[in-house]
Amino acid sequence: MTIDTFQAIADPNRRHLLEELRRRPQTVNELAAGLPISRPAVSQHLKALLDSGLVTAESRGTSRIYAVRTDGFMHINLWVDQFWS
pLDDT of residue 75: 86
Dihedral sign, Cα of residue 23, residue 37, residue 12, residue 4: positive
Q: What is the pLDDT of residue 1?
A: 63
The string of pLDDT tens digits covering residues 18-75 is: 999 999 999 999 999 978 999 999 999 999 999 999 999 999 999 999 999 999 999 8
- Burial string for 20-39 (b: 16+ CB within 10 Å, else e) reads bbeeebbbbebbbeebeeee
* Residue of 8 and 35 predicted with greater confidence: 8
Query: How many domains is the chain built from?
Result: 1
Domain of residue 38 covers: 5-81
pLDDT at 71 (0 to 100): 92
Residue 3: its pLDDT value, please?
82
- State the CATH number of the domain containing residue 31: 1.10.10.10
pLDDT at 2: 73
